[in-house]
Chains A and B, each alone.
Chain A
Amino acid sequence: MISFRSNTRLYLALASKAYARNIQYRSSHLLHNFASAAFGYLYACIWIGLGRDHSLGEYGTHGMMQYITFTQTSLWVASFTTVGLGIPQSVRTGQISLDLMRPVHLFPHLMAKEWGQIAYQFLYKSIPIYLVMLLALGLTPVDGGRTLPIALLALAGSAYMGICMGYMIGVSALWTTESSWLHWSNQALMNLLAGFFIPLQWLPVWLQQIAWASPYPFMLYAPTQFYLGKGNPLNLLGTLAWCIVLTICCLLLTRVMRRKVEVQGG
Chain B
Amino acid sequence: MKMQTNPSTRIRTERRTVIRNYIRLYLLLIRTSVRSRMQYRFNFAFGTVLAAIIQLSEFLMVAIVLAKFGAVRGWSMYEVGYLFALMTLAKTLYRTFGNEVHNLERYLVEGELDQLLTKPLPVLLSLMPRGFRLMPGELLQSGAILTWAMGAMMRSGQITWWAIPQTLFAVFTGGLILFAIGMATAACGFWTTRISMLQNMTEDAAQTAARYPLTLYPGWMSGLMLTAIPVGLVSYVPALYILRGELGVWVFPLLAAASCLAVLLALAFWRFGISKYQSTGS
Contacts and interface: CB of A to CB of B under 8 A. Distances in A.
Interface of A: 28, 31-32, 34-36, 38-39, 42, 45-46, 49-50, 52-54, 176-178, 181-182, 184-185, 188-189, 191-192, 197-198, 202-204, 207
Interface in B22-65: 40, 42-43, 46-47, 50-51, 53-54, 57-58, 60-61, 64-65
Contact of B221 (A34, A36, A45): A45
B212 interface: yes
Contacts of B205: 35, 38-39, 42
A192 B208 CA distance: 15
Given A46-B216, A176-B43, A204 B50 contact: no
A202 B209 CA distance: 21
Which secondary structure characterizes the binding site on chain A? helix
Contacts of B216: 45-46, 49-50
A182 B215 CA distance: 35
A28 B60 contact: no
A177 B41 CA distance: 11
Given A53-B72, A185-B54, A202-B64, 10 more contacts: A32-B200, A39-B204, A42-B217, A46-B216, A53-B73, A185-B50, A188-B53, A188-B54, A191-B58, A207-B60
Chain B interface, DSSP helix/strand/loop, else mixed: helix
A204 B65 CA distance: 11
Given A45-B216, A49-B216, A191 B197 contact: no
Given A35-B200, A38-B201, A38-B205, A203 B64 contact: yes
A130 to B, nearest CB: 18
Contact of B197 (A35, A198, A207): A35
Contacts, number: 91
A37 to B, nearest CB: 10
A50 B50 contact: no
A184 B50 contact: yes
B109 interface: no
Contacts of A54: 69-70
B194 interface: yes
B68 interface: yes
B7 interface: no
B235 to A, nearest CB: 15
B217 A184 contact: no
6 contacts: A35-B200, A42-B217, A49-B72, A50-B72, A188-B58, A192-B57
B51 to A, nearest CB: 7
Contacts of A53: 69, 71-73
A178 B200 contact: no
Contact of A181 (B51, B64, B69, B209): B51
A49 B73 contact: yes
Contacts of B200: 32, 35-36, 38-39
A36 B199 CA distance: 11
Contact of A28 (B57, B194, B209): B194
B197 A178 contact: no
**Max chain B Cβ within 10 angstroms of own Cβ: one of A31, A46, A54, A204:** A46
A192 B65 CA distance: 12
Contacts of A38: 200-201, 205
B268 interface: no
A204 B64 contact: yes
Given A45-B216, A202-B68, A192 B204 contact: no
B43 A42 contact: no
A54 B217 CA distance: 15
A236 B70 CA distance: 35
Q: Give the interface centre of B42, B51, B54 by most chain A CB atoms within 10 Å.
A: B54
B110 to A, nearest CB: 13
B135 to A, nearest CB: 12
Contacts of A45: 216-218, 221
A65 to B, nearest CB: 14
